[in-house]
Amino acid sequence: MFNLEKIVRPNVLKMKAYSSARDEFKGAASVFIDANENNLGSLAGDNYNRYPDPHQKKLKASIAEIKGVRPSQIFLGNGSDEAIDLLFRMVCRPGQDSMLHLPPTYGMYEVSANLNEVKLDAVQLTVDYQVPVQEVLEQVKPTTKLIFICTPNNPTGNSIERESIETILLSFEGLVVLDEAYIDFANSPSWISRLDEFPNLVVLQTFSKAWGMAGLRLGMAYASEEVISLMDKIKPPYNINQATQELALKSLQQTEQLAYMVEEIVQEREMLVQALPTLKTVEKVYPSDANFLLVKVKDANGLYNYLLEKGIVVRNRSGLPGCEGCLRISVGTTEENQQLFQAMANFSI
């Protein structure tokens, strides 16, 4: 049986959150001289002389409505990378606890584990980039606090089978972190609709991909109210800046535009899926539920450098075990994709 108190670091359970000036005063006032701000104003514009809402109430309410969850089930981070790091600091005792991830996958799970002095167990995805569930469960130790599953997975692009995820959610007594950074490009539904069924489920999403706001740094973790209040307790008080809160709120009103962009990106992706295999340098295009394609080519380093010469930067993943010979290519605009295709067609090995 999952017991949150059993897996949270004792110091985190015991500690008190930082109490900000605006936490300590509630009510109406006209003179705010409680937070050492610059009351003359800001060189950046209206409002920016004031600290932002540390609880991001308006933003959470708006996200809750769109996503069909309760505001108390949402944590907002300075990118989902912040949520990843906080999850480590919430449950993993440095030098003692461990996490499990499934390479080839997103690199920050490992970086955060190393930074927090958390042991790293890795179970390689299968040849079709699925989760070998039995192997994962066999690798779980009493010190394993977190399992990271990225779906759709970066850099392979595929979604992870739902039964595998469900088995792990039901069998593992730590937190299962599903990273859904690319979920908006997938056909399968998000796991956030299952939060009430699994107290050990944490779902990560981000505004950096489909929403087109990578520069603003806004990521979400969805989980039980208990998990979210612990994450809120240990986060830096003003982790989401005022500009981000305002701009994200505005963009949340434009869900039609979002759907339009997603549709266009998915269409462009499918064009590339059809076109790239016709090139003689391309050996395989892996199926993708994301806004990028993993492409196996005959000479990955050669093609990578050739594309660079043409002013086109892709991600060379050929050195990654499980991705030998592969480049990861983000879906661009129609024009950019045509440019890529032309350049690849002109590459001779």
When binding is defined by CB under 6 A, the residue of 144, 154, 190, 245 that contacts ligand PMP is: 154
Q: Is 169 exposed, middle or buried (0-12, 13-18, 19+ CB in 10 A)?
A: buried
What is the per-residue binding string for ligand PMP in 105-144, x denoting contact by CB under 6 A?
Answer: -x--------------------------------------
Within 10 A of 234 (CB to CB), how many other CB atoms are there?
16
Beta bridge partners of residue 291, listed in sequence order: none
Q: Does 219 bind ligand PMP (CB under 6 A)?
A: yes
When binding is defined by CB under 6 A, the residue of 150, 202, 230, 327 that contacts ligand PMP is: 150
Q: Is 268 exposed, middle or buried (0-12, 13-18, 19+ CB in 10 A)?
A: middle
> What tokens appear for 170 in the block?
């039901």
The nearest distance, CB 164 to ligand PMP, in angstroms, is: 17
Segment contacting ligand PMP by CB under 6 A, of 8-16, 74-82, 120-128, 259-267: 74-82
When binding is defined by CB under 6 A, the residue of 181, 248, 276, 340 that contacts ligand PMP is: 181
Q: Is 72 exposed, middle or buried (0-12, 13-18, 19+ CB in 10 A)?
A: middle
3-state secondary structure 150-203: ECCCCCCCCCCCHHHHHHHHHHCCCEEEEECCCHHHCCCCCHHHHCCCCCCEEE
When binding is defined by CB under 6 A, the residue of 56, 73, 80, 156 that contacts ligand PMP is: 80
Please count the residues of this chain forming the interface with ligand PMP, following the rule CB under 6 A: 12
The nearest distance, CB 111 to ligand PMP, in angstroms, is: 11
Of the pair 4, 149, the CB lying nearest ligand PMP is at 149
When binding is defined by CB under 6 A, the residue of 4, 54, 73, 81 that contacts ligand PMP is: 81
Q: Does 206 bind ligand PMP (CB under 6 A)?
A: yes
What would the DSSP string read from start to end of 1-42? ---HHHHS-HHHHHPPPP--HHHH--S--S---SS---TT--
Q: Does 85 bind ligand PMP (CB under 6 A)?
A: no
Q: Does 157 bind ligand PMP (CB under 6 A)?
A: no
Segment contacting ligand PMP by CB under 6 A, of 62-70, 78-86, 243-251, 335-343: 78-86
> What tokens appear for 42 in the block?
């800001």
Backbone angles phi, psi at 268, to 5 degrees: -65, -40
When binding is defined by CB under 6 A, the residue of 62, 112, 208, 251 that contacts ligand PMP is: 208
Task: Please calculate the CA angle 19-21-27 and round it to the nearest 5 degrees.
Answer: 110
Interface ranges with ligand PMP (CB under 6 A):
79-81, 106, 150, 154, 179, 181, 206, 208, 214, 219
